[in-house]
Amino acid sequence: MSKFAVFGHPVAHSLSPRIHLAFGRQLGIGLQYEAIDAPPELFFEALEAFAAAGGAGANITLPLKESAFGLSATTTERARRAGAVNTLARLDGQWHGDNTDGAGLVRDLTGRHQLDLRGRRTLLIGAGGAARGVAPSLLDAGIADLFLVNRTPQRADALADALGEPARVHPRHIGDLRELGEFDLVVNATSAGRGGELPQLPRSLLGMRSVAVDLSYGEAAIPFMAWARAHGAYRAIDGLGMLVEQAAESFALWHGERPQTDEVYAELDARHAALVTAD
| DSSP string of 102-125, one letter each residue | HHHHHHIIIIIS----TT--EEEE
Question: Is-contact 196 245, C-beta < 8 A?
Answer: no
β partners of residue 33: 4
Q: What Rg, from alpha-carbon coordinates, does the chain have?
A: 18
Domain of residue 151 covers: 102-240
Establish whether 265 is an annotated binding residue: no
Residue 195: predicted pLDDT: 59
Given 47, 55, 65, 98, which residue is catalytic? 65
Quote the CA–CA distance of 195 and 215 in Å, as a whole number.
Answer: 15
- Domain tally for the chain? 2
Quote the CA–CA distance of 141 and 134 in Å, as a whole number.
Answer: 11
Residue 177 has pLDDT above 70, yes or no: yes
Establish whether 136 is an annotated binding residue: no
Same domain, 114 and 228: yes
Residue 276: predicted pLDDT: 44
Establish whether 246 is an annotated binding residue: yes
Residue 275 has pLDDT above 80, yes or no: no
Establish whether 76 is an annotated binding residue: no
Establish whether 249 is an annotated binding residue: no
Quote the CA–CA distance of 46 and 229 in Å, as a whole number.
Answer: 40
Establish whether 130 is an annotated binding residue: yes
Same domain, 107 and 214: yes
Same domain, 107 and 218: yes
pLDDT digit string, tens, across residues 100-123: 999 999 999 999 999 999 999 999
User: What percentage of the chain carries pLDDT values higher than 70?
Assistant: 94
Same domain, 56 and 109: no
Establish whether 120 is an annotated binding residue: no
CATH number at residue 36: 3.40.50.10860
Residue 208: predicted pLDDT: 93
Q: CA-based diameter of the chain, in Å? A: 55
- Mean of pLDDT values over 31-47: 98
β partners of residue 77: none
Quote the CA–CA distance of 147 and 55 in Å, as a whole number.
Answer: 39
Residue 196 has pLDDT above 70, yes or no: no
Could you confirm whether 65 is annotated as catalytic? yes
Establish whether 152 is an annotated binding residue: yes
Same domain, 110 and 215: yes
For residue 274, tell me if it sits in a domain. no
Strand 94-98 relative to strand 87-91: parallel, antiparallel, unpaired? antiparallel
User: What percentage of the chain carries pLDDT values higher than 90?
Assistant: 85
Same domain, 182 and 234: yes
For residue 196, tell me if it sits in a domain. yes
Residue 175: predicted pLDDT: 86
Same domain, 95 and 112: no
For residue 208, tell me if it sits in a domain. yes
For residue 168, tell me if it sits in a domain. yes
Same domain, 62 and 146: no
For residue 201, tell me if it sits in a domain. yes
Residues whose CB is less than 8 angstroms from the CB of residue 187 and which lie 6 or more positions away in sequence, other chains included: 122, 123, 124, 125, 134, 138, 212, 213, 214, 215
Quote the CA–CA distance of 6 and 273 in Å, as a whole number.
Answer: 21
For residue 270, tell me if it sits in a domain. no
Question: Is-contact 125 149, C-beta < 8 A?
Answer: yes
Which is higher by pLDDT, 279 or 138? 138
- Mean of pLDDT values over 117-134: 96
pTM (2 d.p.): 0.92
Quote the CA–CA distance of 167 and 162 in Å, as a whole number.
Answer: 13
Question: Is-contact 86 59, C-beta < 8 A?
Answer: yes
Quote the CA–CA distance of 14 and 21 in Å, as a whole number.
Answer: 13
Question: What is each CA distance from 158 to 60, 163, 239, 247, in whole angstroms?
Answer: 21, 9, 25, 27
Which of the 8 DSSP states describes residue 258? Answer: P
For residue 279, tell me if it sits in a domain. no
Same domain, 130 and 205: yes
For residue 134, tell me if it sits in a domain. yes
Q: 33, exposed or middle or buried, with CB in 10 Å at 0-12, 13-18, 19+?
A: buried
Establish whether 252 is an annotated binding residue: no
